[in-house]
Structure 1
């Protein structure tokens, strides 16, 4: 069951010049849509919460409700079942879902730099992934983006899950800490945010992921192909507002406002301002496109091919997709970038 978060784009305080009567009429005209994210963190989906708080979605006629569910697999299920309009799944789960006939499409590369890594305890003897042969790697979810990423990394060293190493779903935060302390896992595949939380809670870890995997982008915005075909105006409106929220958050001059919007989206993350600020910096840094990218949200075709190759090699899909290019598009990120001023 998806948990609804009470934070929507119809917060009209972001439009102070509007009179109360006009604001009420405006709110009634907004189209209600749902965005699903694979964890409760507002920071991991910061462009959404900034676009809500700054009124960008409302300006596009959208009233966005955010729902947190467990992992990319659940996000894709919600999209395909028509329970949400947009979501933030990882590329590995999306390719795997498309191999099963789920016609989901990535439209904006949020984590343009890899926001996942395989970490071990800070004082452990493990120095590289080859040393994890025969070991157990913990994950936050059973089918989230961190699983596909770890498969990719391990397959590069000739290791296959179930044969050369094992995955164990342990959850994140406290449960992941307990799994390390109880020697249930030797390593943990986690997002930048998950790793920061472990370190903040006293479970010091270090990343042993090979540097070359930094090019493997992470979770991005997805919708269904039917939505693109039949409701294009919605996809364009979403893309403009989202990109404006992303660009606003990248400007340090807006930092105080951004952190306030994120605290409104997830009050628990805002309880420790110092940690919230540090986590935001870590997550935000992963959304800055690599050198040579023409705009925010841009996808490199060659990395999609590498993602697919890794999924085939790891046995997550039996064969390449008939049309990998149908799994993603840069068209709407370009529209959003133009609205955000480049």
Structure 2
């Protein structure tokens, strides 16, 4: 927390944000964990079908590789929106940052616990007394929360940091050096790329965690109301495309980020793994879930991911949810078909 506060105090040089670059077009500066990627395909689809342009919005993704907390860029005005995971959101709220969660971009966590496809372990409770691998030390929290969900603690297992990389992870599982691995979707894909089938045994309580939510500065929400309404509506349309036609989304992704498709099999597996994380579990796309934000906090406090619980009402703001869902599904379906007819 002290580190976060230090960065927030230091990040005082503001750059123009939410700038109109042409008549009726507003550029939104957005900070996300990755550059354009299949992992966030709603952006790719929204751009391919012209949804952001229709809303008078141009998306400028800021460099994501930084050691400065993303919320600092929201506070100093360099970013109009930033994607934060749940711990980052709680830490920012506890530090007194005047920001709001506006839209849940990913309502299911990419982190989890994986075992070999033919492993005898069927659930996390059966890992008691075994050695569990961590892709990196940051995955200790994921493992701790998973164990807590079944009444165990980190003291009930032995942990070892296995390291990143498909061959390293695959060898650890194949050689039975570890019973399971705590990591995330990119790690599972890297393992599968080396010919090893895996199976997830992540407790549902861990999966149902807001993974990446769009956050904005409270003081700027009225100023940016129209472009933010347009951005979230375009994002929701892009999200829906995967429910209509995943092959269309794959074609859009391949054209937009060909570097992720140099290996066709990996590219499709990466997209297929990303779709369930992006498609909202709530009836309304991106809807806020106060009960979930409250439920996930006690395990995080236990694992030291956050210092104390905080009332979700202090940082959730659903003013954009209705407009984000105000569009015609049939129209989107027709536009997907038209794109397919012209490009596939």
Q: TM-score range by the shorter chain?
A: 0.7 to 0.9
Higher-Rg structure is 2
Equivalent of residue 261 in structure 1, options 240, 252, 266: 252
The offset of 1:177, in angstroms, is: 5.3
1:273: which partner in 2? Answer: 264
Between the aligned partners of 2:309 and 2:226, the Cα distance in structure 1 is 31
Aligned to 1:334: 322
Change (3 A) 1:277 1:210: same
Equivalence for 1:283: 274
Are positions 1:138 and 2:134 aligned together?
yes
CA distance in 2 between partners of 1:81 and 1:74 (Å) = 12
Task: Tell me the TM-score normalised to structure 1 length.
Answer: 0.73
The match for 1:311 among 292, 296, 300 is 300
Distance in 1 between residues matched to 2:70 and 2:196, nearest whole Å: 29
Partner of 2:201: 208
**CA offsets 1:265-285 (integer angstroms, 9 cap, x no match):** 422212233432333233213
Q: Which residue of 1 aligns with 2:64?
A: 69
- Equivalent in the alignment of 2:50: 55
Q: 186, 192, 196: which one pairs with 1:199? A: 192
Alignment partner of 1:107 out of 102, 106, 118: 102
User: Per the alignment, in what secondary structure is the counterpart of residue 95 of structure 1?
Assistant: helix
Structure 1 counterpart SS, 2:221? helix
The gaps in structure 1 that reach 5 residues or longer are 1-25
Q: Does 1:302 align with 2:302?
A: no
Structure 2: tracts of 5 or more residues without a match: 1-19, 331-344
Cα shift readout 1:38-80 (whole Å, capped 9, x = no counterpart): 2357121111121122221122222212346359984444434
Aligned counterparts, 1:171-190, within 5 A: 171=164, 187-190=180-183
Cα distance 1:168–1:103, how it changes in 2: closer, same or farther (>3 A)?
Answer: farther
CA-based RMSD: 3.7
CA distance in 2, matches of 1:187, 1:327: 36
Distance 1:161 1:83 in 2: 40
1:279-333 deviation per Cα after TM superposition (whole angstroms, max 9, x unaligned)? 323321333344xx33121232211111112222222222211x32233233323
Aligned residues: 309
Could you tell me how far 1:135 is from its partner in structure 2? 4.2
Q: Distance in 2 between matches of 1:194 and 1:251?
A: 28
Task: Sort the Cα spacing of 1:284 and 1:137 in 2 relative to 1 into closer, same or farther, 3 A.
Answer: same
Q: Please give the secondary structure, in 1, of the residue aligned with 2:100.
A: strand
Match of 2:93 among 86, 93, 98: 98
